[in-house]
Amino acid sequence: MKKLVVLLGIMMVFLCGCGKSNPDNVVKDFMKNVKGVKSYKVTGTMEISNDEETFNYSLESYYLKDNYYKVVLVNQTNNHEQIILKNNDDVYVITPALNKSFKFQSEWPTASSQAYLLNSIVNDIENDKNYEVTENDDGFIIKTKVNYPNNDELGYQKIYLNDKKEIDKVEVYNTNDIVKIKVTFSKVDLKAGLKEDDFKLEDYVKEEEPKEEDCEDGSACKDDSNSKETATIEDIIYPLYIPSNTYLTSSEKVDTDTGNRVILTFSGDKNFVLIEEKAVSASVMEVIPVYGEPLLLSESVGALSANSLSWDANDMSYYLASTELTPSEMMLIANSLGNETLVANTK
């Protein structure tokens, strides 16, 4: 009789072990796998939705232990490429086509959630003691709070793991349960074998030397390596979002060394200035210091400081300044400029 009881017990253990893994153990195993890697590379896509449109990006993100990160984002509509780079020196947002970089003294990426970085996803799980995990037909779904201090409409995320405990997708929701950011991972390599040399700013610097053969008189060419192209702005792009009781009070077009720019002044409850000019490529890398954070917008990665937001999109450079707007309001204004149908000819 005792042997029969022991045999039944062994069979019950075996049968229970053949089912799906315990959800909490799956989460712990996923976190352990990510935290144990020396380097990784992930590829996939990212969708960012605002009230009017959805913007699609191809995505590559790289990590090397001891705080090296690189994220490559390419807008699939206009091929606008930007790189967020963190190495031993600083944090950079690089726009290769413009030979331009914002340089930050920043805590990125730990200062907020990042749906495209495995480390950040693990941190969000760790920081939410009340995270929820459920099973579905394909694997498991982890629901956690998120931390986006510069975008207060985002409230939580769902992290999708397959039955191999590998990440498939992350969806970030607003407070109305609408998906605003979706990252889909097509490949995750947790043994990427990366080195520090894979995270150098110099890899994205383009320096053009003057060509002596272009000089008509045969003398040494003038060194114009610091020069830029010139461009004329013909259309003003107005924001579709403006804070309530705030109005456009002046529009001024001024000439610059590289063409011209338009200065829009808005006054009322929330005063701010918006500057627009054609984006031009420099022959020598332009590095712009910023005391702030990289900010993911619908069409670009911007540079957010205490009182300003700078970004490049659709061949335009924008600068938004205000002592009264919140970061979320700056983001709303910037994202509303994506609609180029609302313009006014400046001629």
Query: In terms of domains, do 45 and 112 share one?
Result: yes
Query: In terms of domains, do 254 and 187 share one?
Result: no
Query: In terms of domains, do 174 and 247 share one?
Result: no
| Full pLDDT tens readout for the chain, 347 residues | 555 544 555 555 444 444 557 888 899 999 999 999 999 999 999 999 987 789 999 999 999 998 999 999 999 998 999 999 999 879 999 999 999 999 998 889 998 999 999 999 999 999 999 999 999 888 999 999 999 999 989 999 999 999 899 999 999 999 999 999 999 999 999 999 999 999 999 888 776 555 455 555 555 554 454 555 666 777 889 999 999 999 999 999 998 877 889 999 999 999 999 999 999 888 888 899 999 999 999 999 999 999 999 999 988 999 999 999 999 999 999 999 965 444 444 44
Question: Does residue 327 have a cis bond before it (omega within 30 degrees)?
Answer: no
Is position 311 within any domain?
yes
3-class secondary structure, 35: helix
Cα distance between residue 145 and residue 127, in whole Å: 8
Nearest alpha carbon to residue 292 among 47, 65, 102: 102
Range(s) of the domain holding residue 141: 21-197
Going along 76-166, which residue ranges are E strands?
Answer: 81-86, 91-95, 100-104, 132-135, 139-145, 154-162
pLDDT of residue 217: 54
* b/e 145-158 (16+ beta carbons within 10 angstroms → b): bbbbebbeebebbb
Query: In terms of domains, do 191 and 294 share one?
Result: no
Cα distance between residue 311 and residue 218, in whole Å: 41
Query: In terms of domains, do 293 and 189 share one?
Result: no
pLDDT of residue 280: 87
Residue for token digits 């804070």? 243
Cβ atoms 304, 294 nearer than 8 A: yes
User: Global pTM?
Assistant: 0.85
Query: In terms of domains, do 245 and 191 share one?
Result: no
Query: In terms of domains, do 45 and 177 share one?
Result: yes
pLDDT of residue 346: 42
Query: In terms of domains, do 240 and 191 share one?
Result: no
Q: Which of 151, 176, 197 is the last residue of a domain?
A: 197
pLDDT of residue 270: 97
The helix (H) or strand (E) run that includes residue 191 is none
Cα distance between residue 175 and residue 296, in whole Å: 18
Query: In terms of domains, do 186 and 286 share one?
Result: no
Structural domain count of the chain? 2
Q: Which of 180, 197, 214 is the last residue of a domain?
A: 197
Query: In terms of domains, do 192 and 244 share one?
Result: no
pLDDT of residue 228: 56
Nearest alpha carbon to residue 88 among 72, 71, 102, 69: 69
pLDDT of residue 283: 84
Nearest alpha carbon to residue 201 among 282, 285, 307, 113: 285
- CATH code where residue 96 lies: 2.50.20.10
pLDDT of residue 109: 94
